[in-house]
């Protein structure tokens, strides 16, 4: 089987997921994992599909036929999974301001962590007014990382940019 990673984007409207799923199914592909969302009127996502190697090119060509409905980019994935190191989960919560993702990801990068999942959201603050920023991060930590130093850097950053960062 060949693993394909599809990135999709287009003006949000009913039927977009069904359109992609129909093409995948018509080529005997298997929709395995996905992250899909509507953001500011645009539907966007990433989909992992497995398909028989001899049907891969045909599926890619058929996905290009969705142009006008969705922009689809196809990348070949691999069977490699990252299981070395442990998984660290972070929660970030604070008043929204530019640069929070940049600053948190810079700390993670400085300690050689690989971000596996990142979800962010802004919303109205219920009592205080303004906007809140919230992020959930799942990152792979190599065994060589000094966890105490990482936690210290995250605590320093939380204080500097005035957000709460919880590490689990």
Q: CA dist 120 to 81, 92, 100, Å?
A: 24, 9, 10
* DSSP single-letter state for residue 65: T
Tell which residue, 124, 152, 135, has the closest CA to residue 101. Answer: 135
pTM above 0.75, yes or no: yes
Q: Over pLDDT 70: what percentage of the chain?
A: 97
pLDDT digits (tens, 9 = 90+) for 28-86: 999 999 999 999 999 999 999 999 999 999 999 999 999 999 999 999 987 666 667 89
The pLDDT of 113-141, averaged and rounded, is 92
Q: What is the rounded distance in angstroms from the CA atom of residue 45 to the CA atom of residue 63?
A: 14
């Amino acid at each position: 089987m060949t693993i394909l990673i599809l990135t999709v984007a287009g003006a949000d409207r009913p039927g977009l997921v069904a359109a992609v799923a129909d093409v995948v199914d018509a080529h005997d592909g298997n929709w395995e994992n996905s992250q899909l969302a509507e953001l500011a009127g645009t539907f966007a996502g990433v989909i992992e599909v497995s398909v028989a190697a001899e049907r891969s090119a045909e599926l890619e060509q058929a996905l290009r036929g969705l142009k006008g409905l969705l922009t689809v980019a196809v990348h070949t994935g691999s069977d490699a999974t990252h299981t070395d190191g442990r998984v660290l989960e972070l929660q970030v919560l604070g008043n929204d301001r530019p640069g929070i993702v940049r600053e948190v990801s810079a700390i993670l990068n400085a300690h050689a962590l690989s971000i596996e999942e990142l979800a962010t959201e802004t919303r109205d603050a219920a009592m205080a007014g303004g906007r809140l920023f919230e992020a959930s991060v799942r990152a792979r930590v190599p065994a060589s990382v000094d966890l105490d130093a990482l936690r210290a850097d995250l605590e320093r950053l939380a204080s500097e940019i005035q957000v709460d960062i919880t590490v689990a």
